């Protein structure tokens, strides 16, 4: 990688309330308008100052073609803007914006993601991601696919239902502002019924409507905007085969490769995009995160999982803590696809 490209930093983050259902449209405009304003204010920028815009969302989640076009109405994009969109979690939109700043063509970017999962039946919608010729027609839903993965790890001695319940108990207690918040012990959780054996409701992320916004700037510009930007020291992503039986589902080679390339060492805080409890354990094992690392202080996706924004929100949550000085070196992770098929790792450091 070229070393004379500019460093990039996060200068602002905002997110819509994570809730079970909103009354707005599936194009995200109602959720995005206030948080785009909030994120710009946090960086002391106006929309005219933004050099590049990039979003992440899904037409299938919205139940219509071109939902991202309608989302542009949240910006008020006239005069016209320099803009792009990924059909993926907005963490990958952040990656595209990071690349754009590194070209030197722009020195600021605003990234947003949105998802209104309440509009459909999420676990069935996500089955549309599978091989359309041989697997999709059987409708293996996303919770069942994750259940197979959880079972593999349990049978292989990598984790247990009790360890999974402990992840759930910690996540549910982490954040009083999250969609899911309760003080409960692992033992109490284990008395609740299965949803898809070995997964119980607490092992699965909730259904969430939400959106998130991150503002990026070239590091020099970032230091003019705020006192302590969160500098991206590495950001990498990798994809695995879609054939579930061809993958080693008990670990995550794509996360390991991305973390290695991103230089993920010396981490003290991690925000992991794990929509299922066993996936948090799997990711901790794959990344080699020990007890000294604070994981998901936000509660993570298990406390609120706005599809196509939750990965970006992990980066935003980690960056917020770096900007506040609560962590000096943090890792944020985002995932996409069935059973952690595609993974992104972003490493941040305090840039004062």
Partner 1 sequence: MKQRAAVLGVGQTHHRSKRLDVTMAGLCREAVDRALEDAGLSFADIDAVVLGKAPDLFEGVMMPELVLADAIGATGKPLLRVHTAGSVGGSTANVAASLVHGGVHARVLAVAFEKQSESNAMWALSIMPPFHMPVGAGAGGYFAPHVRSYIRRSGAPDHIGALVAVKDRRNGARNPYAHLRQADITLESVQASAMLWDPIRYDETCPSSDGACAIVLGDERAAAGRTVAWLHATAMRTEPTTFAGRDQVNPQAGRDAAAALWRQAGITDPLSQVDAAEIYVPFSWFEPMWLENLGFVEEGQGWKLTEAGETELGGRLPVNPSGGVLSSNPIGASGMLRFGEAAMQVMGRAGDHQVDGARIALGHAYGGGSQYFSMWVVGAEKP
Q: Are strands 194-196 and 83-86 parallel, antiparallel or unpaired?
A: unpaired
d(CA 52, CA 126): 30
User: Which region among 94-102, 144-152, 222-230, 323-331 touches partner 1 (by CB under 8 A)?
Assistant: 94-102
d(CA 282, CA 284): 6
Q: Using CB under 8 A, which of 22, 39, 51, 100 touches partner 1?
A: 100
User: Which region among 14-22, 143-151, 153-161, 238-246 touches partner 1 (by CB under 8 A)?
Assistant: 238-246
336 binds partner 1 (CB under 8 A): yes
Residue 337 is given by DSSP the state: S
User: Which region among 125-133, 157-165, 201-209, 277-285 touches partner 1 (by CB under 8 A)?
Assistant: 125-133
Q: How far is the CB of 122 from partner 1 (least distance, A)?
A: 11
CB 69 within 8 A of CB 83: no
Give the CA distances from residue 261 to residues 5, 59, 123, 203, 337, in Å, rounded to whole numbers and listed in that order. Answer: 17, 31, 32, 30, 21
130 binds partner 1 (CB under 8 A): yes
Taking the least distance from each CB to partner 1, the nearer of 1 and 138 is 1
Give the CA distances from residue 161 to residues 184, 186, 290, in Å, rounded to whole numbers and listed in that order. Answer: 15, 9, 20
Give the CA distances from residue 65 to residues 95, 120, 331, in Å, rounded to whole numbers and listed in that order. Answer: 24, 15, 34
* Token digits of residue 29: 């405009």
Residue 307, burial from CB neighbour count under 10 angstroms (0-12, 13-18, 19+): buried
Query: What distance separates the 2 farthest-apart alpha carbons in the chain?
Result: 58
Q: DSSP letters along 121-171, please?
A: -HHHHGGGGS-TTTTGGG---HHHHHHHHHHHHHHTTS--HHHHHHHHHHH
257 binds partner 1 (CB under 8 A): yes
User: Which region among 99-107, 174-182, 187-195, 196-204 touches partner 1 (by CB under 8 A)?
Assistant: 99-107
d(CA 31, CA 321): 23
Q: Using CB under 8 A, which of 21, 44, 46, 103 touches partner 1?
A: 103
Taking the least distance from each CB to partner 1, the nearer of 34 and 120 is 120
User: Which region among 24-32, 163-171, 174-182, 270-278 touches partner 1 (by CB under 8 A)?
Assistant: 24-32
88 binds partner 1 (CB under 8 A): yes
76 binds partner 1 (CB under 8 A): yes
Q: Using CB under 8 A, which of 7, 38, 49, 87 touches partner 1?
A: 87
Q: Using CB under 8 A, which of 41, 44, 104, 162 touches partner 1?
A: 104
**Exposure pattern of 101-138 as b/e (b: 16+ CB <10 Å)?**
bbeeebbbbbbbbbbbbbbbebbebbbebbeeeebeee
Q: Using CB under 8 A, which of 14, 91, 125, 217 touches partner 1?
A: 125
242 binds partner 1 (CB under 8 A): yes
Q: How far is the CB of 239 from partner 1 (least distance, A)?
A: 4
Q: How many residues bind partner 1 (CB under 8 A)?
A: 70
279 binds partner 1 (CB under 8 A): no
Taking the least distance from each CB to partner 1, the nearer of 136 and 266 is 136
Phi, then psi, of 277 in degrees rounded to 5? -55, -45
Residues that bind partner 1 (CB under 8 A): 1-5, 25-27, 53, 58-60, 62-70, 72-73, 76-88, 92, 95-96, 99-100, 102-105, 125-126, 128-133, 136, 236-243, 253-254, 257, 336-338, 341-342
């Amino acid at each position: 990688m070229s070393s004379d490209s500019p460093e990039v930093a996060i200068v602002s983050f905002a997110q819509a309330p994570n809730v079970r259902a909103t009354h707005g449209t599936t194009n995200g405009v109602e959720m995005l308008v206030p948080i785009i304003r909030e994120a710009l204010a946090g960086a002391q920028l106006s929309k005219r100052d933004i050099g590049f815009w990039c979003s992440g969302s899904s037409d299938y989640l919205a139940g219509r073609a071109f939902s991202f076009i309608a989302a542009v109405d949240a910006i008020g994009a006239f005069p016209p803007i320099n803009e792009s969109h990924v059909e993926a979690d907005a963490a990958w939109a952040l990656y595209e914006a990071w690349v754009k700043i590194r070209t030197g063509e722009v020195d600021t970017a605003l990234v947003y993601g949105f998802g209104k999962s309440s509009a459909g039946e999420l676990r069935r919608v996500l089955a549309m991601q599978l091989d359309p010729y041989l697997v999709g027609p059987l409708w293996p839903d996303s919770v069942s696919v994750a259940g197979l993965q959880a079972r593999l790890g349990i049978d292989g001695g990598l984790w247990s239902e009790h360890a999974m319940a402990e992840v759930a108990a910690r996540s549910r207690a982490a954040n009083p502002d999250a969609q899911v918040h309760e003080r409960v012990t692992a033992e109490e959780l284990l008395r609740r019924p299965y949803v898809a054996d070995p997964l119980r409701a607490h092992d699965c992320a909730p259904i969430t409507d939400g959106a998130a916004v991150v503002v990026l700037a070239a590091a020099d510009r970032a230091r003019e905007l705020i006192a302590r930007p969160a500098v991206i020291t590495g950001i990498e992503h990798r994809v695995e085969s879609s054939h579930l039986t061809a993958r080693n589902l008990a670990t995550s080679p794509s996360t390991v490769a991305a973390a290695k390339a991103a230089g993920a060492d010396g981490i003290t805080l991690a925000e992991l995009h794990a929509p299922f409890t066993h996936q948090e354990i799997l990711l901790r094992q794959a990344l080699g995160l020990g007890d000294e690392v604070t994981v998901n202080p936000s509660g993570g996706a298990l406390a609120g999982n706005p599809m196509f924004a939750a990965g970006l929100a992990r980066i935003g949550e980690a960056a917020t803590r770096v900007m506040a000085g609560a962590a000096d070196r943090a890792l944020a992770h985002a995932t996409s696809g069935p059973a952690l098929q595609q993974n992104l790792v972003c490493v941040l450091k305090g840039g004062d």
